Amino acid sequence: MEKKYFGTDGIRGRVGEGVITAEFMLRLGRAIGVVMTSGHGEHIVIGKDTRISGYMFESALEAGLSAAGVDIKLLGPMPTPGVAYLTRTLGAAAGIVISASHNPHFDNGIKFFSPEGGKLADDIEFAIEAELEKPFVTVSSEKLGRATRVQDAAGRYIEFCKSTMPAAIDFKSLNIVVDCAHGATYHIAPNVLLERGAKVTAIGVSPNGLNINDNVGSTKPELLRQAVLESKADIGIALDGDGDRLIMVDHKGEVVDGDELLFVIAKSRVQEQTMRGAVVGTLMSNLGLEHALKRLGLVFERADVGDRYVMEALKRNGWFLGGESSGHVICLDRTTTGDGIVAVLQVLVAMVKSGKSLFELKSDMTKYPQKMINVSLSSELDLTSEDLKKAVREVELDLGSSGRVLLRPSGTEPVVRVMVEGEDGEQVETLCQQLADKVKSLVA
């Protein structure tokens, strides 16, 4: 049974189109209020990133929740993981995040958290969708929900972030550039670093409602890279618009992705003898990460693409460390969800404890060249056809044990992603094109 509104991470789209409208958010607010609470006396928290449409959707959700008889606590601009934390510590029945993450300002979306600060289970999302189909009913006036603003929300989350690192460690030796993508971390990430003693240069901290993720943040690290080199900083940090993912830049100006950051944290945990279980990545995680973790004596498990699936694998097995190449890093020994600031602090602590630069810490992992080609589908493609399986086997034989092949249909567009990686960059390019051509011939 497919969901009508929910994707892999909430509901998202272009503002004013489809369900990303004030009218739908009004009904959505009421629906989650009915499903997640028993009515009068319980509350739900709402946080948002800095895009201008957040004001409109916050008001609409607030009205819908009030109509369901649910009190609302408004957090204002707050990173997604901050909303997860405050949902749990404020005893809320649920948390709502108004954000489209790394997307441009003209997109927006809604994400939800359970009372424990985790993603909603599928059955809850189905129940919310079922409630959306029912008539909009408002409780009697004396039972309407009230809205209040949590005045110290940012301060509470800042203190939490600092608590995820040893109190005896400080960053007084570090010169850091942090890029907040003009997003939800603009008033939080720099303060966390400053309060732990770092010298901080902050960019992407002037949100105007329209500039979120605009040539800044984790998907556009070039400005950060330039700032690190020009200021001779020790490290650069790029967060995305809602603060749940990051990319870093070392002192040489080299971009360090989620796979490398995951390795650095895992290695630090092994050295501290606090590592438990395996590390979880995705089908797109670089083979170099798998091989580097194996040298540390760690098992690496691949989940489907999406931090939701990484989280599911971690919880299913009782493990705590996982992530994606794109910069989602999950440390369940520190918090309940992927958190860019918390992950950054784990990397910085590893640097301080070891006395090594990020460039040195990542050097024990070698990223393999990776090539991906998107092949448009004009018709259905049978991924189990003998012709295709034979073509894949031929490429795998050429790569040997030092490479891998992945064919993955996109979940959002009519394309199949053809990915090849291995030690030899030229060979990878050639074999990926060869396999892509074969796929094209089968859908022509």
User: Which residues are known to be catalytic?
Assistant: 101
* Ramachandran category for residue 368: left, alpha or beta (phi over 0 → left; psi -120 to 50 → alpha): beta
362 neighbors 260 (Cβ within 8 angstroms)? yes
Strands of 403-409's sheet in order across: 370-376, 415-422, 403-409
Q: Residue 119's beta-bridge partner residues?
A: 113
3-state per-residue secondary structure call for the chain: CCCCCCECCEEEEECCCCCCCHHHHHHHHHHHHHHHCCCCCCEEEEEECCCCHHHHHHHHHHHHHHHCCCEEEEEEECCHHHHHHHHHHCCCCEEEEECCCCCCCCEEEEEEECCCCCECCHHHHHHHHHHHCCCCCCCCHHHCCCEEECCCHHHHHHHHHHHCCCCCCCCCCCEEEEECCCCCCCCCHHHHHHHCCCEEEEECCCCCCCCCCCCCCCCCCHHHHHHHHHHCCCEEEEECCCCCCEEEEECCCCEECHHHHHHHHHHHHHHHCCCCCCEEEECCCCHHHHHHHHHCCCCEEEECCCHHHHHHHHHHHCCCEEECCCCCEEECCCCCCCCHHHHHHHHHHHHHHHCCCHHHHHCCCCCCCEEEEEEECCCCCCCCCHHHHHHHHHHHHHHHHHEEEEEEECCCCCEEEEEEEECCHHHHHHHHHHHHHHHHHHHC
Copy the structure tokens of residue 200.
């901080």
